[in-house]
Amino acid sequence: MTLQTLTAHELLNLIKQKKTSAQEIYRSISSQIEKTEKDVHAYAHIFQNPKIEESRECPIPVAIKDNICITDKLTTCSSKILSGFRPPYNATVIEKLKNSGAVFIGHTNMDEFAFGSSTETSYYGPTHNPHKLECVPGGSSGGSAAAVAANEAIWALGSDTGGSIRQPAAFCGVVGLKPTYGRVSRYGLIAFASSLDQIGPITKDVRDAALLMNIIAGYDEKDSTSANIPIPDYTQALIDNVKGLKIGIPKEYFIEGLSEEVKRAVFNAIDLLKKQGAIFKEISLPHTAYAVATYYIVATAEASSNLARFDGVQYGLRIQPQKTRKNPIVDLYEETRDAGFGLEAKRRIMLGTYSLSSGYYDAYYLKGLKVRTLIKQDFEKAFETLDAIITPTTPTTAFKIGEKANDPLSMYLSDIYTISANLSGIPAISIPCATGKDNLPIGLQIMAKPFDEEMLFRISYTFEKNKNH
């Protein structure tokens, strides 16, 4: 039996029936990693001899993005500057997974500090798309998405700041959910942009995403942005019924730049849901055009502030200057950061520092926050009459490794359809809806009101159930 190809819920049923064990499942994953990891490179660090507790509720192997802290395990954000860093504590989501009995396979490769859309900026080198190895898996959670797609993990955790779960999920043909901001604790997530970051699941199907959300969601007093709102059983939302649901199609998401095959796949998905009884109408989200610019002002400003802590003093890389140029401590900071940060990290730190600097704060950062509010208000107005909004996840299928590496603006536009959900704090999911040319997957994005992940699961499950009929 090829256990590594099954979903978590299928494996849990087999365990229940005593037809397999957590140990057997882990062995099948390890065997798959031995076969495919040299080509895919989904992992930054693979853990040896993980603790497996057969008697626990959910002893399923899980891959963890390399920016989520696990006690005493290398956690480096795929950056040289965090070389050798082993956190002295677990992230809250890790504690929740541990309590459920999860088996941690390793930390997955990612764009350095989550700065990227292709998993090419990692200090450890790029991850490859399992569907076509010369293509990127998306980013920044590309390692997590590739691990699940290549059956090197049953399911995984990623983090999403501007699409970093949904975009790689679309490129790799798996399910990726960005929960509502505050729904899942960020305690122990090494921050990129604190007002945008959110941990979420990457899975083989919609039911697995609901199961994983049941484990990781919930209030956490250690996280001041955590929402103290009751958590439903998300598996109860997995019903094959969208009759009467009102779903919006924003015209701003179907303009120049969207490939014909992605557009066709999304409208085919809309037709399927129409046949199931959903009601669609065209809507306008008028400030969509400003989302990318707004994001790259707000996110880089917060990144600049968050990354100031990496200075070679407390943890990670330290480059001891050979001679004093300014003064010993400034020399230490400069040489450590110069050697430790990659090109994209330096670019974003400089951009964020500039927009926060005296004389430019009002012109850039403050204006960015005001436009962010307008984008959020667009969604609030839309959801007064709608249950959900449907769009493409990405404008194209996966591009080739190296194709956009020297064109940052082109790379940033890879997240054009996903960024607004982070700026607004709303939940959004990407599900596979078709396969394009070269066997590359196409993702469908569904967005809902804050804390209405159940609506996402209901629509996604209905689509998943009916798309092959």
> Which positions are catalytic?
65, 140, 164
Question: Which residues fall within 8 angstroms of residue 148, CB to CB, at 6 or more apart?
Answer: 63, 154, 155, 156, 172, 174, 202, 203, 204
CA 379 – CA 285 distance, rounded (Å): 7
Is residue 236 within 8 A of residue 183, CB to CB? The reply is no
Rounded Cα distance between 148 and 203, Å, is 7
State the DSSP H helix or E strand holding residue 123, giving kind and residue range, or none if neither: none
What is each CA distance from 312 to 44, 98, 338, 448, in whole angstroms?
A: 22, 31, 11, 42
Query: Mind giving me the DSSP string for 60-71?
Result: -EEEEETTB--T
Cα Dmax for the chain: 72
- Among candidate residues 92, 89, 14, 91, the one with its CA nearest the CA of residue 54: 14
* Measured distance CA(43)–CA(152) in Å, rounded: 9
Paired tokens of 25? 């499942």
CA distance 283 to 459: 19
The answer to whether residues 154 and 128 touch, using CB atoms and an 8 Å cutoff, is no
DSSP secondary structure, 286-316, as one string: TTGGGHHHHHHHHHHHHHHHHGGG-SSSSSS
| Distance between CA atoms of residues 147 and 154, nearest Å | 8
Number of H helices, E strands in the chain: 14, 11
275: which 2 tokens?
């046949």
Q: Are 145 and 172 in contact (CB under 8 A)?
A: yes
The residue type at 455: M
DSSP code for 437: G
The CA distance from 316 to 322, in Å, is: 19
